[in-house]
Copies of this chain bind each other. A is one copy, B any other.
Amino acid sequence: MTASAARPPPHLLDRLKALLGPEGWSEDAVELDAHLADWRGRERGFTPLLVKPASTGEVAALVQVCAEAGVAITPQGGNTGLVGGGLPRGEVLLSLKRLRRIRAVDPLDDSLIAEAGTPLVEVQQAAAAAGRLFPLSLGSEGVATIGGLCSTNAGGVAVLRYGMMRDLVLGLEVVLPDGRIWNGLRTLRKDNTGYDLKQLFLGAEGTLGVITAAALKLFARPAATETAVAALADLHASCELLALAKEMSGGGVTAFELLPQRAFDLVLKHIADTRTPFVQPPPWSVLIEVSFGRPEGGRAVLEAILAAALERGLISDAAIAHSLAQAGAFWKVRETLPLALRLEGLALAHDVSAPVSRMPDLIVMAQAEVARLAPGAPVVAFGHVGDGNAHINVGPAPGRELDPALAHAITDAIHAGATALGGSISAEHGIGAQKLAELPLRRSAVEIDLMRKLKHALDPKGVMNPNRIVSFHA
């Protein structure tokens, strides 16, 4: 029995309700439903109480009450996570959704301060309104919140040029596991006064504290962006083409997404108003986006890249988008692919990474493992070549089922193979509850020990989102 499963005493719940007022909590089944549903539909959370504080001070007060009573808390943002990190399993559920304010936008400082519950899209819009770019971009950006994106070190399609969420944060405001508030909302570009404390909380999935606000980096908007699709000679050509494109654009590549033939078939089948830029989609293709500091001349650079790639035999065909609408049509295939995969029933998903130069090997390995364990089972691998990050989706062989034991064996083999390539079993999605037990198999004993030391040092009572990332009592 873990700390998180122990039901808090009624008087404690009453104390929380009194503290937060009638707007600040809920036991209503309808309201709770969206907070307890797992995006992938594999699990349902449960909680004795949903609390909805409206300020950092209220977060601090409720955390202090829980900490003193040894009652566990699970913080939640937009509930778009994929590993059960924000889904309560008996913990008090702390929704940050009412902390939804953009506190400051400073274009001269290229910074923006947003509260944890602000959806990503609102931050993107506020940056654009100030003539700036906040570059983080991912499928769930309308729902995912800044606090959750910080806590999970979110990735997405712009990592190649702008980095993960960790790279986009200048400062944080955090409620610590004992209820104290750390105000680290500095917007400094340079600050070497001791340990960089914000790094502790970024990507910690709420296990070391509750992020209540973040100071974010803004960027200049590129003067021009050009988009193309190219049919690769083979999978391994993807890395060489990426290197060529980076070199010939002086580092201007902003997206480089790998798509297999089946991606086009599935999207055409399941998603309305989609088109393929290829008469016959090739076995492997890439979507390339290059951004420039000058308004003119970018297309010539992209044409030169594609001509050089044709000459070197890296690609067999290519098409440059000649309008924003055409670029949008190219992107639509990539962006709707996860939905098409779900509709097709290729539901066994893997979020693995390897060094960029080993990403083709990662995919070949996964295909071989599936062929060995489940002959005939379809594999659709796509992802971010520039980040070495492949999303590998597996479905049942025609007329068969992917029963839990077989699914587990496939995942185990793919994860072991990724680890052997120097890779990661969770490139973007995190550990949460789902990969908690597996982590010690994939990371060294020294690493697990260091993680546990951090957890014990910052959350000695084990009240902050227990049994995510590291188990407390081991």
Q: Please give the residue numbers on chain A whose beta carbons come within 8 Å of chain B beta carbons, in ascending order.
A: 106-111, 131, 152-153, 155, 159-160, 163-164, 166-167, 176, 180-184, 186-197, 199-200, 202-204, 219-224, 239-240, 242-243, 246-252, 290-294, 296-298, 301, 353-358, 384, 386-389, 422-431, 435, 439, 442-444, 446-447, 450-451, 453-454, 456-458, 469-470
| 12 A–B contacts from the bound complex (CB under 8 Å) | A108-B243, A160-B189, A181-B446, A189-B353, A190-B353, A190-B424, A193-B443, A220-B247, A250-B293, A252-B293, A294-B298, A453-B458
A182 to chain B, nearest CB (A): 5
B356 touches A108 (CB 8 A): yes
Closest to A199 in B: B199
A186-B106 contact, Cβ under 8 Å, with A203-B192, A431-B193, A453-B458: no
Contact A164 B181 (CB under 8 A): no
A132 to chain B, nearest CB (A): 9
Return chain B residues, CB-CB under 8 Å to A428: 190, 192
- In the complex, what distance in Å separates the CA atom of A143 from the CA atom of B145? 45
Q: Which of A111, A167, A190 has the most CB of B within 10 A?
A: A190
* Residue of A202, A203, A389, A458 with most chain B CB atoms under a 10 A cut-off: A203
State whether A223 touches B250 (Cβ < 8 A). Answer: yes
A181 to B176, CA, bound (A): 30
Pick from B188, B193, B293: contact of A442, CB below 8 A: B193
Report yes or no: A176 in contact with B446, Cβ–Cβ below 8 A.
yes
Of the candidates B164, B195, B239, B450, the one whose C-beta lies within 8 Å of that of A190 is B164
Contact call A188/B108, Cβ cutoff below 8 A: no
CB distance from A408 to the nearest CB of B (A): 18
In the bound complex, do residue B191 and residue A220 qualify as a contact, i.e. CB atoms below 8 Å apart?
no
Query: Chain B residues near A111 (CB, 8 Å)?
Result: 355-356
Determine if A444 and B183 form an interchain contact, defined as CB atoms under 8 angstroms apart.
Answer: yes
By beta carbon, the residue of chain B nearest A422 is B186
Are B153 and A109 within 8 A (Cβ)?
A: no
Instruction: Tell me, rounded to whole Å, the shortest Cβ–Cβ distance linking A222 to chain B.
Output: 4
Residue of B nearest to A300 (CB): B294
Asked whether B252 lies within 8 Å of A447 as measured between CB atoms, the reply is no
Closest 5 CB pairs of A and B: A250-B293, A457-B457, A199-B199, A252-B293, A220-B251
A133 to chain B: closest CB distance in Å?
8
Q: Is the CB of A424 within 8 A of B191?
A: yes
Instruction: Report chain B residues within 8 Å CB of A435.
Output: 193
Q: A202 is contacted by which of B184, B196, B356, B458 (Cβ under 8 Å)?
A: B196
Evaluate contact between A296 and B293: CB separation under 8 angstroms. no
Q: Give the distance to chain B from A62, nearest Cβ to Cβ, in Å.
A: 18
